[in-house]
Amino acid sequence: AQSVTQLDSHVSVSEGTPVLLRCNYSSSYSPSLFWYVQHPNKGLQLLLKYTSAATLVKGINGFEAEFKKSETSFHLTKPSAHMSDAAEYFCVVSDQGGFQKLVFGTGTRLLVSP
């Protein structure tokens, strides 16, 4: 079964500084990987997805992630944090069972201070 591990439960940054949210995956084959964001009282929103094309994936709101097979990692980055980026972020792997079953990590809460 596929799984993801988010290495930090909380990350604190100052506005304007870089963001790094770490994720390692476990998969027996080339996985499909995603990052979702969840703002309070809002649904989950897809930030970006990797599906075996380019290893550097660009998403919405300036976020990007790099797929590194040798390190089994899929870290999420943003060059400059904005106050509106404060939210819960989930690294997700698709478990291929003939249908799309999303397997979520435990989440990383991003705190952005002025």
Partner 1 sequence: ETGVTQSPTHLIKTRGQQVTLRCSSQSGHNTVSWYQQALGQGPQFIFQYYREEENGRGNFPPRFSGLQFPNYSSELNVNALELDDSALYLCASSLATGENYEQYFGPGTRLTVT
User: Which residues form the interface with partner 1 (CB under 8 A)?
Assistant: 32, 36, 41-46, 49, 51, 90, 94, 96-107
Rounded Cα distance, 40 and 55, in Å: 30
**Is the CB of 15 or the CB of 24 nearer to partner 1?**
24
Rounded Cα distance, 1 and 113, in Å: 38
**Is the CB of 77 or the CB of 109 nearer to partner 1?**
109
Give the nearest distance from C-beta 20 to partner 1 in angstroms.
19
Give the nearest distance from C-beta 102 to partner 1 in angstroms.
6
**Is the CB of 78 or the CB of 89 nearer to partner 1?**
89
Rounded Cα distance, 67 and 69, in Å: 6
